[in-house]
Each structure stands twice: as C-alpha cells, then as structure tokens.
Structure 1
Amino acid sequence: MYHIAICDDEKDFVAEMKVLIQNYTKETGTEFRISVFEDGKYLIENYDKSIDLIFLDIQMKDMDGLKTAEYIRKIDETVGIFFLTSLVQYALEGYQYQAVNYLVKPIKYNRLKTELNRWLEKYHKKIPSIVVSNDKGSFKIALNTLHYAETSKRNLLLHTDTEEILCYRKMKDLEQELLPFDFFRCHTGYLVNLAFVKSVEKLEIELNSGEKIYVSKPKKKEFMEALAGYWGKML
C-alpha cells in the first residue's frame, strides 16, 4: 500500500481526486492510503515521512505550493511531488523542487492513470527505505545508508552514514522487513548490512567505517555463507 497526500484548499477538487484514485485502484489493484491537507502549512506541521507521493496545489491562500515544496525538500528528499495548477506557467517553477510532473486542473482520469503508472515504475527503481519513529518524530532511512541496528534496552539504535537514530521497533520485526535487502542478524543484539562488512576475524565483524560488532558462535557459519553469497554477487 502506498501513502498519498492531497494538499489542496478546494474541497470539491479533493473529493474528485479521491474518486479518480479509487478508480485507479479498482482498475489496477494498487492500493493507496490517502491523507488530505487543506493547506501547505497544515501539511508541514503534520508531515508524515511515510508519505510516498504528494499532490500539491500551487495556488493556495495561506502558504502556496512552491513554498511548501521548498520546506518539504529540506526534510524529505525522496517523496514524489505532483504539482496541481490551473496555470501552466506556475507549474514550470516547480521543477526546481524535483517535481515528478505537473497536472493541470481539471484532471482527467486517463492523464492521472498515465502519471501514476510512470511514478510507480520509477518508484520501484529507487533505493529502498524504511520509516521509523521515536519521540522526536518519524525518519525515512535509505537502506544504503544503514550500516547496522543494535538493541538498546527495549528499543533499537540504528547506525547510519551520518547519525544514530533510536527507534521503537523490535529486532525480530526489523529483521523480517530487511530480509530481502541483504541484512543479516549475526547476533541477538545486531542486524548488519552485508554491504558494509569489511572483514571477519573470529567472532568480530569489522565494518567499512571501522566500527566493530559481534557475530555469535552459533550464527557464524550461516553468516559466513550469507556474506560469501553477497560478495559473490558483487564480483
């Protein structure tokens, strides 16, 4: 299921968009969760990093779509943005915020279908990511930046390229989610990204960053097989 946000201050248009998206779901089987925001300020104040795609009206009263997109790009570089407008010249300004495209109102179903098809195809070629949360908010983490996760009391501490993020998840659940992406639970307290493993000596794993974590004795054989398989794919 994909999470779509519609940010527009015209209630009738929002209702029409919902119907068009529901028709797309009926035709293709692709499911969406839809969140509605009546203006850019409300979207920013309640931004959810689980959002995959935003339909963003350029002309809104309190905060226009371009200013909204500028702020969103500071906190989320990967979310897709379709600008909505009645005037094409405004839409062209939106490309500086890496917009997927612009849609001119009123929107016809065939145009929406074409654009959603293109977006979904592109979406699945993107680097996969996960969304985690803590008391400070939600965080979208690209998996190619996640070195490893470790247990921290009853929570998890995620080690990325640039920071450590505490999240309220169970190791078992995260392990299942990351299983298809070359992550391996080498120890009760560690889940490691095989892409960052530099070497293994006895029960100690050295990462490219110089950090060292542990592999448990019962897990070592299976871990070494997984690592050999991953390195083999990279040759």
Structure 2
Amino acid sequence: HRVPVADIVYVESIKHRLTVHTTVGAAISMVSTLKAMEDRLEGMDFFRSNSCYLVSLRHVRGVADQECLMTNGDRLRVSRPRKKAFMSALAAYAGGIR
C-alpha cells in the first residue's frame, strides 16, 4: 500500500505488527518495526510519543496530561520521559521551525 505521508495520522505497533492510521479512516497493517518506520519517516515531522506510537505532528489537535488528541479523535499516550521533547517538537512544528 502507498499512503501519502500527509495522510498518516499515526503508526501503532503491537507485537511486531504495524497499523498505519490514516485521515480517510483506513488502517493499513504490515509486519515491520516501529524503529524501521521511524527511520523511513525521519525528517517528515513524526515523533515517537512512546513505545507504541509514532505520531504525525501535523495531526496533533491538542495535548492534555499524558495524552495527545489526534485529528481523527483518537487519544494517544505520551510517555512521561518523552513528554518534554514531544512538546518541544510540537512547538517547533507549530512555529514552522525544524
């Protein structure tokens, strides 16, 4: 499956199986690692919010406590150790700085 990067809301990893969640509601599954996907999407405004999720900063609607709300309505956990870096990346993205 070819999915435009702009259409990826987030990538979820469960037991070496990735699910790519898209803006059109489609969920595409594949066997791979989150690290491999992270490497493929490097420099494209994605952030590893915890051990299970790689989120598109473009599709983050808001952040509350340890969760980020995505444009598709899903709430994803942001791990405590990654929260500060996540907030910095989100602020840089929102400000147009990389």
Name the TM-score class by shorter chain: over 0.9
Aligned to 1:165: 28
TM-score w.r.t. structure 2 length? Answer: 0.93
* Corresponding position: 1:189 with 2:46: no
* Corresponding position: 1:146 with 2:11: no
Distance across 2 between alignment mates of 1:150 and 1:209: 14
More helix by share: 1
Q: Cα distance, 1:161 vs. partner?
A: 1.7
Distance across 2 between alignment mates of 1:154 and 1:204: 23
Asked if the contact 2:9–2:71 (Cα under 8 Å) also holds between the matched residues in 1, the reply is no
**Counterparts in 2 of 1:28-177, with a 5 A limit?**
139-162=1-24, 163-177=26-40
More strand by share: 2
Equivalences, count: 96
Aligned to 1:80: none
Q: Cα distance, 1:152 vs. partner?
A: 2.1
CA RMSD of the aligned region, Å? 1.1
Amino acid at match of 2:6: N
Larger CA Rg, structure 1 vs 2: 1
Identity %: 35
For 1:118-142, what per-residue CA distance to the aligned partner results, in whole angstroms no more than 9, with x for missing partners?
A: xxxxxxxxxxxxxxxxxxxxx0010
Gaps of 5+ in 2: none
Aligned to 2:68: 205
For 1:127-181, what per-residue CA distance to the aligned partner results, in whole angstroms no more than 9, with x for missing partners?
A: xxxxxxxxxxxx0010010000011222101101220000111100111111210
Distance across 2 between alignment mates of 1:188 and 1:170: 11
